[in-house]
Amino acid sequence: MSLSPAPVVVREVGLRDGLQILPRVLPTAHKLEWLRLAHEAGLREIEVGSFVPARLMPQLADTAELVAFAKTLPGCKPSVLVPNLKGAERAIASGAHAMLLPLSASHAHSLANLKRTPDEVVEDLRRIVDLRDAKGSDCLVEVGMSTAFGCTIQGRVEPSEVLRLLKAALDAGIDRIGLADTVGYADPLQVKTLFEQCLAVAGDKLACGHFHDTRGLGSANVFAAWQAGMRRFDACTGGIGGCPHAPGASGNVATEDLAYLFASMGVPTGLDFDRLMALRARVAQWLEGEPLHGAIWRAGLPKTVAA
C-alpha cells in the first residue's frame, strides 16, 4: 500500500514581496483583512512585512502592527524581512516567528540591493545570530539566497558560488535557508540539480523554494524543487511582486496556482482553494489598476480536483 505524500507548506509573501515594489501604500486595515482572509484559507506561514526604514519603503511601515495582529491568529507564524542588524533588533522586539535575511549569490545584485558584498552579508549574519542568542529570543533566523539561478545585472551565477555561500551561511549559525529565483531565470532541470546539490550539504536546513513566474516556468520550477525533496515554498496571492533591483522580473508564483498544482497531485497543503480565490478577488479590488498574474483563476478547478 502506497503512503500518502508528505504535506507541503506554502508561505504567503504577498504582504511583503508583493507590495514592496508597488507605488501605492495599501492601508493597514486592508492588510489586516488580507492577513485574516489568508489565515481563513489555511495559510499559517505569512511574511507580513519588512523592518526597513519607512522613508525607504513606506509601503511596509506598519510591519510591527501586522506582526502583532498575526500573532492573535491561531497557529499563525508571521515572518519579516530584515536587511541588517538594526532590522533584526526590531524583528526580535516585535515577537515575529522568523526573520528572513537576503543573501545574494550574485555579487553585483548584492551591491545593488544591500550595498554590501555577499561575504560582508555573511558576517552580518553572524552578528544577527549572536544578537538573537544574547537576547534569548526564539525568533528563527532564515536566509533567502536570492539570484541563486541567475541575475539580471551579472548574468550567470555559478552553482559553486551558491554552494560556497550556503556553507558560509550555515557556518554562521542560521536556522534555515532557501533558494530563490529572484529574476525568473531558472529552468526545471537547473532547479532540480541545484536543490539536490544543496540538500546534500544542508539537509533539512534547506527549507524553502522561492520562484517567480516571469517567463512562465514558476510552477514547473516548484515541481522540480518538489521532486528534489523540497516541501516548503513561497508564493504570492495574485502572482504580484518582485525585486526592485531586478527590472522586468516582477511576478511571484501565485499562491492559488501552487494550491492547484499540489491538489492536482494529491499532495496536502491545508489550503482552501475557494477561500484563496476570495482573497485574490479582494486584493484585486484593493490594487485596482495593478496587474495580477497566475493561471488557475481564469478557469477554476477541474471537476477531477477537489477544492
206-230 pLDDT, tens digit each: 999 999 998 899 999 999 999 999 9
Q: Tell me how far apart the alpha carbons of residues 2 and 149 are, in angstroms, rounded to a whole number.
A: 34
DSSP annotation of 305 reads S
pLDDT score for 2: 47
44-101 pLDDT, tens digit each: 999 999 999 988 899 999 999 999 999 999 999 999 999 999 999 999 999 999 999 9
Q: Please check whether residue 228 is in contact with residue 5, taking contact to mean a CB–CB distance below 8 angstroms.
A: no
Q: Tell me how far apart the alpha carbons of residues 179 and 162 are, in angstroms, rounded to a whole number.
A: 9
Who contacts 17 (Cβ-Cβ below 8 Å, separation ≥6)? 47, 234, 236, 241, 242, 252
Q: Structure pTM?
A: 0.95
Q: Which of 143, 119, 139 is nearest to 131 (CA)?
A: 139
228-273 pLDDT, tens digit each: 999 999 999 999 987 666 666 568 999 999 999 999 999 999 999 9
Q: Which of 50, 53, 57 is nearest to 78 (CA)?
A: 50
Mind telling me the catalytic residues?
Answer: 243
Q: Tell me how far apart the alpha carbons of residues 154 and 106 are, in angstroms, rounded to a whole number.
A: 7
195-207 pLDDT, tens digit each: 999 999 999 999 9
Asked if residue 1 has pLDDT above 50, the reply is no
Partner residues linked to 254 by β-bridges: 236
Look at the block and give the residue holding cell 511601515: 61
Cα-based distances in Å from 199 to 157, 190, 204, 235, 257: 18, 14, 7, 21, 25
In 59-150, which ranges are continuous DSSP H helix?
A: 63-70, 85-94, 107-114, 118-134
Q: How confident is the model at residue 194 (pLDDT cuts 50, 70, 90)?
A: very high
Asked if residue 184 has pLDDT above 60, the reply is yes
Handedness of CA 107, 109, 111, 117 (dihedral sign): negative
Domains along the chain with CATH numbers: 9-299 (3.20.20.70)
Burial 268-300 (b: 16+ CB within 10 A, else e): ebebbbebbbebbeebeeebeeeebbbbbbeee
pLDDT score for 307: 63
CA–chain centroid gap for 219, Å, is 14
